[in-house]
């Protein structure tokens, strides 16, 4: 009975803080995920993201992150925007329209954990928001919140895939939800067929080293390889193609989080506006934005790359 009571507190508290979905899984070693991750890394599909090679054991065993862990609580928060970018301007992934989600959700997650301790008593745990060795999509699937699509994203049957995922690993014993057993992608290959760089492979494997998001965000080299020219489809920061073409995202609903309200510059800046942007203005306009991860130099590099469609042809 205590487990049921605590489980209800967890889910009610999550809903009260504006999390769209909350699921619970038993904290256990992710055996199958460990094999898949090892294979993916061995094939070099992480490119220059060498940090993904670190802490392998922590990624697959929650009890190494939180000693005595019994439950993994997974929380989803919608980021699908009501307003969209203008046509024919440098494109930004929708997750980066507003404030940096790491800061927004981390604060919300801290408050969530604080309220749980206030309502339940002394419990131990750690919260994670896409910045630590946690396989959050696997835990979301095990918590019944959706299935892993062919594009590697978690897809929720009610609202699609435009969600941020947060995890709270705790020593609190809770009632686990039933894992999502069904895969509703079926024979659809829209994400595979439409990926501009052919980064999405069969069997739910994404070659991260080919992904536009990798080149425009993760790659810190001064230049993007010439072989990628003409494939970026005007993406300046990140890429949403595989989500935009996914049939399940017809169920996406505009988010209600004020901190995800789009920055005006992202919605309206033309190629000319981006070209004229100074570093000083960049730091002011995007001081709370995920774009600061690429820094001014990275954004300018990306801009030059998408404007140079081929040798001698520049889009202005």
Q: Is it the case that residue 150 has pLDDT exceeding 60? A: yes
Mean pLDDT value of segment 215-242 = 91
Q: Is it the case that residue 298 has pLDDT exceeding 70? A: yes
Q: Could you say which DSSP state residue 269 is in? A: -
pLDDT for position 29:
77
For the chain, the 3-state helix, strand and coil shares in percent, each to the nearest 5, are 45, 15, 45
Q: Could you say which DSSP state residue 191 is in? A: H
- Look up 103 and say whether it is catalytic: no
pLDDT in tens, 100-125: 999 999 999 999 999 999 999 999 99
Q: List Cα–Cα distances, 299 to 116, 279, 302, in angstroms.
A: 40, 10, 5
Separation CA 82–CA 301 (nearest Å): 29
User: For the chain, what is the mean pLDDT?
Assistant: 89
Cβ atoms within 10 Å of 31's Cβ, excluding its own: 9
Q: Which of 146, 143, 134, 136 is nearest to 71 (CA)?
A: 143
| Contact predicate 4/24, CB 8 Å | no
Q: Is it the case that residue 93 has pLDDT exceeding 50? A: yes
DSSP reduced 3-state for 154: strand
∠ CA 269-270-275, nearest 5°, is 95
pLDDT in tens, 58-84: 666 888 888 999 999 999 999 999 999
pLDDT for position 131:
65
∠ CA 95-101-104, nearest 5°, is 145
Residue 97: CB partners within 8 Å, gap ≥ 6?
79, 81, 260, 261, 262, 263, 266, 267
Q: List Cα–Cα distances, 146 to 18, 22, 295, in angstroms.
A: 19, 11, 34
∠ CA 17-174-257, nearest 5°, is 15
pLDDT for position 311:
41
pLDDT in tens, 119-149: 999 999 999 897 655 688 889 999 999 999 9
| Contact predicate 71/174, CB 8 Å | yes
Higher pLDDT, 310 or 307: 307
∠ CA 100-58-49, nearest 5°, is 55
Label residue 315 by pLDDT band (50, 70, 90).
very low
- Tokens in use for 232? 């970026």
- Alpha helices of the chain — where are they, by DSSP H? 2-16, 31-42, 56-60, 62-65, 101-120, 136-142, 190-194, 212-213, 241-244, 264-268, 271-276, 279-285, 295-307
Q: Which of the residues 33, 130, 259, 288 is marked catalytic?
A: 130
């Amino acid at each position: 009975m205590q487990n049921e009571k605590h489980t209800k507190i967890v889910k009610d508290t999550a809903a009260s803080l504006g999390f769209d979905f909350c699921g619970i899984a038993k904290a256990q070693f992710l055996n199958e995920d460990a094999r898949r991750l090892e294979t993916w890394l061995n094939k070099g599909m992480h490119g220059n993201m060498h940090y993904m090679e670190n802490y392998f054991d922590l990624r697959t065993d929650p009890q190494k992150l939180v000693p005595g862990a019994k439950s993994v609580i997974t929380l989803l928060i919608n980021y699908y925007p009501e307003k969209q970018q203008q046509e024919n301007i440098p494109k930004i992934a929708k997750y980066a329209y507003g404030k940096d989600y790491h800061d927004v959700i981390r604060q919300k997650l801290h408050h969530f954990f604080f309220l749980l301790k206030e309502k339940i008593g002394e419990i131990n745990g750690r919260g994670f928001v896409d910045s630590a060795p946690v396989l959050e999509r696997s835990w979301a699937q095990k918590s019944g919140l959706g299935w892993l699509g062919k594009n590697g994203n978690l897809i929720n049957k009610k609202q699609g895939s435009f969600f941020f995922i947060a995890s709270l690993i705790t020593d609190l014993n809770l009632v686990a939800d039933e894992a999502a057993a069904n895969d509703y992608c079926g024979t659809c290959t829209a994400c595979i067929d439409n990926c501009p760089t052919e980064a999405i492979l069969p069997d739910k494997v994404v070659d991260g080293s080919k992904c536009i998001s990798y080149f425009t965000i993760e790659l810190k080299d001064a230049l993007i390889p010439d072989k990628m020219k003409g494939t970026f489809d005007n993406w300046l920061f990140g890429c949403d193609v595989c989500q935009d073409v996914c049939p399940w995202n017809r169920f996406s609903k505009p988010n209600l989080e004020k901190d995800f309200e789009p920055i005006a510059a992202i919605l309206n800046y033309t190629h000319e506006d981006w070209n004229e942007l100074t570093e000083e203005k960049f730091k002011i306009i995007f001081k709370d934005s995920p774009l600061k991860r690429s820094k001014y130099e990275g954004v300018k590099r990306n801009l030059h790359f998408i404007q140079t469609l081929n040798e001698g042809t520049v889009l202005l």
